[in-house]
Copies of this chain bind each other. A is one copy, B any other.
Amino acid sequence: MAERISDAEHAVMEVLWDHAPLDAQSIYDRLADSQSWTLATVKTLLSRLVAKDALATEAQGRKFFYRPVIERTAYVAGESRRLVDRLFGGRLSPLVAQFADAETLSPEDIAEIEALLQELKK
């Protein structure tokens, strides 16, 4: 388990993390504005996610309802760590520095992060 989730598959996961159990058609509908996939494509992604144990199904009559097995929190944590390990030697501060240099931090962001750190220090 803990198979790698691809980009396309991730988009499907996001929908399910947002709206609990859904059937294929509903997932397709919700993806409609962000992606221009056919229903068939969405179904393929769903099958692959089930095969990867990232989703579980629950038969409801003749259709399936899909629900995440993996928590979004866990996924996000894993991906974040992967990136930080790969690009910043496992340390978070260089990443923050990187955003600082890019000047992509608003005063609100700065305040928010500071608050977080304050919390941590206690």
- Interface positions of A (Cβ within 8 A of B): 10, 76-77, 79-81, 83-84, 86-88, 91-93, 95-100, 102, 104-105, 107, 109-110, 112-114, 116-117, 119-121
Are A93's CB and B116's CB within 8 A? yes
By DSSP majority rule, is chain A's interface helix, strand, loop, or mixed? helix
Contacts of A114 in B (CB 8 A): 114, 117
Q: Contact check, B100 vs A80: say whether CB atoms are below 8 A apart.
A: no
Min Cβ gap A105→B in Å is: 6
Are A76 and B80 neighbours in the complex by a CB distance under 8 Å? Answer: no
Once the chains are docked, how many angstroms separate the CA of A100 from the CA of B77?
Answer: 11
The answer for the CA separation of A107 and B79 in the assembled complex, in Å, is 23
